[in-house]
């Protein structure tokens, strides 16, 4: 399992991370961030395979993935 850290204050709701996640565990949150966007959130972190596609695709670099050892 991987640890996902999302810097919600930087997210601009582009949804690129959502579109590339092979496990479909990312969705837009219901609450706006300080920029006025709906940031992405993880709905089931246990399903994350740590592929880092979301982090690589994010133009704002607001997603970090850490592998459990």
Question: pLDDT tens across 27-59, in order?
Answer: 999 999 999 999 999 999 999 999 999 999 999
The pLDDT of residue 27: 99
Helix residue ranges, H only, the chain? 16-20, 53-57
User: What pTM was estimated for this model as a whole?
Assistant: 0.91
DSSP conformation class of 45? G
Question: How many domains does the structure of the chain reveal?
Answer: 1
List beta partners, residue 6.
63
CATH number of the domain to which 18 belongs: 3.30.70.20
Reply yes or no on whether the pLDDT at 69 is more than 80. Answer: no
Phi, psi at residue 60, to the nearest 5°?
-100, 0
Q: Domain residues for 41?
A: 2-67
């Amino acid at each position: 399992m991987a640890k996902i850290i999302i810097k919600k204050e930087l997210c601009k709701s582009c949804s690129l991370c959502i579109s590339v996640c092979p496990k479909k565990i990312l969705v837009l949150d219901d609450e706006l961030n300080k920029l006025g966007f709906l940031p992405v959130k993880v709905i089931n972190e246990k399903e994350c395979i740590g592929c880092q596609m979301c982090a690589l695709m994010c133009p704002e670099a607001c997603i970090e993935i850490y592998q459990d050892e």
